Amino acid sequence: MRIIITILLKILCVIIPLLIAVAYMTLAERKVMGAIQRRKGPNIVGFYGILQPFADGLKLFVKEIVLPSNANLGIFFIAPILTLLLSFIGWAVIPFREDMIFADLNIAILYSFAISSLGVYGIICSGWASNSKYAFLGALRSAAQMISYEVSLGLILLTILLVSGSLNLIMIVIVQQYIWFIIPFFPLFIMFFISALAETNRPPFDLPEAEAELVSGYSTEYSAMGFAFFFIGEYANIVLMSTLCALFFLGGWWPVINLFFIPDPIWLGIKVCFMLFLFIWVRVALPRFRYDQLMRLGWKTFLPLSLATFLFVASVMQVADILP
């Protein structure tokens, strides 16, 4: 019984801060977009709009759940729950410090990659079960987009694990104690970041939710808490991809300057906030891609470049006799 209570407390210690981070990520996004577009953003609910996320959450909680008459209700209900659960489960292997992790797996990269791949099922189920053309087309777009960019993400991660010699996220961060991977692998960092944008359906790759074409994509028929589950799952995945980017390329919890006595998780949080700012900045600065441009970028540019980089790094390490 004590073990079960301990595990539940650990789960709550991960999920509650994550929900708070998602809530204030939405507020930060609206504030940053407002500042870039020279407007104020939310500033009514609470001091300087600080309670706006809670007002939005309360509004979604009390709204009526509208069910499409021709929907497959069983799968229709399961889809947003599946998306939300997968977005939470992915955080099980994320280390916030060397000794601060829920599950220290030696195959953490494979676990994260498998969980992110399963996210396609929630989207496909929502699009099919809604019995709506807009939702179905949005789900197909999203599934094709996520599968396409997972290929380049996998090859980029292969290069990282080849250099670090481990699939364990803690070991990957420890290897970067003296030099962050962003310095020798800056092109891979750029490709990883762009692939993360496409993987999370963020602008300029938000083709599954193209308002002018598909209303709201796979979540068109959802309202109230169903829509909220998709919303939370999407932003939890954004925070997760930003965290993985910080762990793989920005040295994880290693400090920028050792002069500051800042705890290791705070350094990781600062780097994650920087990546989240880039997500927001790209949304404001760039127009949406066409779908053929999106697919061409993934299959004809990122796939050959990531594969060539992997082969080049493997060849150099083989010649130098430093393969792990």
pLDDT tens, 173-214?
A: 999 888 899 999 999 999 999 999 988 888 888 876 666 566
pLDDT of 282: 92
Q: Identify the bridge partners of residue 224 per DSSP, sorted by sequence position.
A: none
pLDDT of 210: 64
pLDDT confidence band for 122 (50 / 70 / 90): confident
Q: Which residues contact 138 (CB under 8 A, 6 or more apart)?
A: 127, 208, 209, 214, 216, 217, 218, 219, 220
The sign one gets for the Cα dihedral 133, 139, 142, 144 is: negative
Compute the average pLDDT of residues 253-257: 81
Q: Is 164 in contact with 171 (CB distance < 8 Å)?
A: yes
pLDDT confidence band for 240 (50 / 70 / 90): very high
Tens digit of each residue's pLDDT (9 = 90 or more) over 133-175:
888 888 888 888 888 888 889 899 999 988 988 888 999 999 9
The average confidence (pLDDT) of the chain is: 86
pLDDT of 271: 93
Tens digit of each residue's pLDDT (9 = 90 or more) over 43-63:
888 888 888 988 988 888 888
The sign one gets for the Cα dihedral 19, 22, 28, 31 is: negative
Our measurement of the distance from residue 241's CA atom to the centroid of its chain's CA atoms, rounded to an integer in Å, reads 3
Widest distance between CA atoms in the chain: 65
Q: Is 27 in contact with 50 (CB distance < 8 Å)?
A: yes
- What the block records as the tokens of 218 is 């796979």
- What single-letter DSSP state applies at residue 102? S
pLDDT of 146: 85
Compute the average pLDDT of residues 249-271: 83
Compute the average pLDDT of residues 233-240: 91
227 CB neighbour count, 10 Å cutoff? 18
pLDDT confidence band for 323 (50 / 70 / 90): low
The sign one gets for the Cα dihedral 232, 118, 188, 283 is: negative
The share of the chain scoring above pLDDT 90, in percent, equals: 26
pLDDT of 212: 57
Distance CA 230, CA 81 (A): 8
pLDDT of 138: 82
Of 198, 151, 114, nearest to 304 by C-alpha is 151
Compute the average pLDDT of residues 120-131: 87
The share of the chain scoring above pLDDT 70, in percent, equals: 95
3-state secondary structure of 122: helix
Compute the average pLDDT of residues 76-103: 88
pLDDT of 126: 87
- What the block records as the tokens of 188 is 């891979």
The conformational region for residue 166 under phi > 0 = left, psi -120 to 50 = alpha, else beta, is beta
pLDDT of 60: 86
- What the block records as the tokens of 80 is 């947003």
- What single-letter DSSP state applies at residue 100? B
